[in-house]
Amino acid sequence: MNWLLDTLSLSSGMLAEGPTVSVVELMSLNNATHILLGSVLALLVAVFLAGKFLKHQSEGIVNASIVISFNQRIRAWLLLSAILVAGAILGRGYTVVLFGFISFWALREFITMTPTRRGDHRALFWVFFLLTPLQYILVGLGQDFYGLYSILIPVYGSLLISARIALAGDYKRFLERTAKIQVGLLITVYSLSFAPALLDLKLYTTEMLAAPLEEQVVWNSVQGTGATFGLLFYFVLLVQIGDIFQFVWDKILGRRIIAVNINASKTWEGFFGAMITAMLVGALLSWFTPFNWWQAPCIALVTAVMGFTGSMTMSAIKRDRGVNDYGTLVQGHAGILDRLDSICFAAPVFFHITRYFFTSVL
C-alpha cells in the first residue's frame, strides 16, 4: 500500500499549497453529496468493524477464509472511498490526477504480469510516459477534448504501439505482443479515465431536457458544485455493491457455477442476486443523480453487469498467466488491478449512457 501513502502525502502537499481553495470547495459541496459521503463512510466503517468482530469469532460460526476475503474487499473499498472523498475535497483537477496515478499503477501490474520481449521496450516507454499522462491531461482539460480523448488510445495509441514494435525489428509473435500491450492500456488507462471524466459533464434530468431550449436549466447548478462528485461516487458504489453482493449471494445461494475454469466461485444465483441488489440500491440512491425512479435501476443493472464482465475478463487473463492476483507476482498480495477490474469495464459504459441521455449533446 506504499502507493497510497505516496498519493496521500502528495495530495496533502497540494492541500498545504492552497488550503483556502480546498476549504471553499468543501463548503460548496452540496448537502446531498455530504449526506451520501457521510452515510457511505459510516456504513463502511460499520461493516469493517463487523468484519473485525467476525474475525475473532470461533471457527464454527463462520468460515475464516471467507471472513478474510470479505475483509480484504471492504478494506479496498474503504481506501477507494477515501480517495474519492479526498478528490471531492480537493476538486476536479486533483481527482483526475489521483485517477491518473491509479491507472499508472494498474498498468504497471498488468505489464509486469504479461511477458514482453526486448523489442517491446521502447513501445512500453511511450505507453507509460506519453499515452497514459496525455489521456489524463485531455480528460482534465474537460468536455471540449472529448473528441480527442475518446479516440486517443484506441486509435492513435494502437497505431503507435504496433509501429514502434515493428521498428524495433523483432517479428516473433508480433500480433500477440502488440495486442497484449494494447489491451492493457485500453483497460487500465483508457477505460478507467472515463470515471473522472464524469466530473465535467453538464447534466440535465429528462424533464429539464424536454423543456424548450431557452428555459433549460443545468441540473449541476440546481444541485450545487459537488453534484458530479455525487454521480462519480454513485457509480463507484454501484460497481462495488455488485462486486460485494456477488460474493455474498455466491456464498449464501450459489449452486450453478458460470465458468468453472475462469472463476470457480461465481455462480448464476450470485449473479442474479447481485444484479437485483444493485438495482435496489441504485433506485434508493437515485435522489442525488439526474436519473428518475425507473432510469436509475436500469442504469444500475447495466453498470453491475459490466462490472461482472470486467472481473470475469480479468480473471480469464489471470488464469491464462497462471496467477491468482495481479499483485502476487511481486507483492505477494492482491494488487490494485484485482480491485479495479470491474470499475474499469463499467466506467466507459456508465459515462456514455449518462452523456448520451442526460446531457444536451444530442
Partner 1 sequence: MQTAPWHVRLTGLVLAFAAKLLSGASARWRHCQPDSCQRIYFANHTSHLDALVIWSALPRAMRSLVRPVAAADYWASSSIKRYAASSFNAMLIDRKDVKVHRNPINVMLEQMGDTYSIIVFPEGGRSLDGQMQKFKSGLYHLGKKRPDIELVPVYIDNVNRVLPRGEFLPVPLLSSITFGEPIWLENGESKNDFLNRAHQAVLSLKDR
CB atoms within 10 A of CB 241: 23
Q: Does 330 bind partner 1 (CB under 8 A)?
A: yes
- 31, 68, 125, 292: which one binds partner 1 (CB under 8 A): 125
According to DSSP, residue 362 is labeled -
Smallest distance, Å, CB 20 to partner 1? Answer: 30
- 69, 116, 265, 313: which one binds partner 1 (CB under 8 A): 116
- Distance between CA atoms of 149 and 276, rounded to whole angstroms? 34
Phi-psi domain of 172 (left: phi exceeds 0; alpha: psi -120 through 50; beta: other):
beta
Q: Does 71 bind partner 1 (CB under 8 A)?
A: no
Build a one-symbol-per-residue string for 232-251: x at contacts with partner 1 by CB under 8 A, - elsewhere: --------------------
Closest C-alpha among 186, 214, 220 to residue 200: 220
Closest C-alpha among 303, 314, 305 to residue 234: 303
- Distance between CA atoms of 63 and 136, rounded to whole angstroms? 42
Smallest distance, Å, CB 361 to partner 1? Answer: 37
- Distance between CA atoms of 211 and 3, rounded to whole angstroms? 47
Smaller CB distance to partner 1: residue 113 or 195?
A: 113
3-state helix, strand, coil in the chain (%, to 5): 80, 0, 20
The count of residues interacting with partner 1 (CB under 8 A) is 17
Smaller CB distance to partner 1: residue 121 or 352?
A: 121
Smallest distance, Å, CB 107 to partner 1? Answer: 9
- 128, 145, 174, 357: which one binds partner 1 (CB under 8 A): 128
Q: Does 121 bind partner 1 (CB under 8 A)?
A: yes
**For the packed helices 92-113 and 174-185, what is the interaxial angle rounded to 10 degrees?**
150
Smallest distance, Å, CB 95 to partner 1? Answer: 22
Query: Do residues 350 and 298 touch, judged by C-beta distance below 8 A?
Result: no
Query: Do residues 153 and 185 touch, judged by C-beta distance below 8 A?
Result: yes
Smallest distance, Å, CB 275 to partner 1? Answer: 35
Q: Does 321 bind partner 1 (CB under 8 A)?
A: no
Q: Does 122 bind partner 1 (CB under 8 A)?
A: yes
Q: Does 332 bind partner 1 (CB under 8 A)?
A: yes
| Binding region for partner 1 (CB under 8 A) out of 87-95, 120-128, 140-148, 203-211 | 120-128
Separation in Å, CA 10 to CA 14, 39, 97, 340: 6, 27, 11, 21
Q: Does 172 bind partner 1 (CB under 8 A)?
A: no
Smallest distance, Å, CB 122 to partner 1? Answer: 7
**For the packed helices 2-17 and 64-90, what is the interaxial angle rounded to 10 degrees?**
20
Q: What is the contact surface with partner 1 in residues (CB under 8 A)?
A: 6, 104, 108-109, 111-112, 116, 118, 121-122, 124-125, 128, 329-332
